[in-house]
Amino acid sequence: MLRDKIRAEASDETVDNNEVSVHYDGKQLTDLYGRSYIGLCGICIYLAVSMIAFHFREQSLTGILPSDLMNKLGTVPPVFMAVGLMWVSTISALTVIIGRLYHGTPPSGTTSHVAFRIGFFVLFFLIGGLGQYINEIFISGLVVLTLQHYNVYTYYMQKIEKKFIIGGGLHQEAL
């Protein structure tokens, strides 16, 4: 059915406008489904980086670099500053995501959320507090990225429902 319509379109035969729209609606549907799982990809990337960070939790940059190079770089900021930055960033990210969920606006980029969460692993590795704060970093990142995935998933699923199911834009045979 749909396969025959696509073949007819490819062979330049005359195809009804309704049949062509089914083909393009199917492409849009596939694109929207792909976008709805971007948040899940971000969670998977974060979990992979978390395992690597957990492996190196007892090391720090100060233990790897020679002391003369560390003297040239200057003093390392205290851990409490990084902890404060992490919690401010986590609360800010949760506020933005919850606001977007509440208002139904398009979700922010998952890439930026993943990069910030991975950045905290790097920051704590640099200052030497990764072993002490690995659980807090992991859980705060997991909470933010899970809520981000929920935001992305619900936004695109609602868009799919509005455009294809409720609007009647997708015919039964294309499903």
- Between CA 39 and CA 36 the distance in angstroms is 7
Q: What's residue 165's pLDDT?
A: 66
Per-residue pLDDT of 17-28, as tens digits, reads: 444 344 447 777
Query: Which parts of the chain register pLDDT below 70?
Result: 1-24, 165-175
Contact, 141 vs 46, CB < 8 A? yes
- The helix/strand/coil state of 65 is coil
CA 148 to chain centre: 6
Angle between helices 17-36 and 38-55 (to 10 degrees): 20
Residue-wise over 31-43: b if at least 16 C-beta within 10 A, else e? ebeebbebbbebb
Q: What's residue 166's pLDDT?
A: 60
Q: What's residue 136's pLDDT?
A: 95
CA atoms lying within 13 Å on the CB side of residue 46? 29
Tokens of 9: 């379109």
Q: What's residue 167's pLDDT?
A: 55
Distances (CA, A) of 62 to 5, 18, 31, 33, 125: 65, 66, 46, 45, 9
Q: What's residue 161's pLDDT?
A: 83
Q: Domain ranges in the chain?
A: 2-174
Asked whether the CA dihedral 4, 5, 7, 13 is positive or negative, the reply is positive
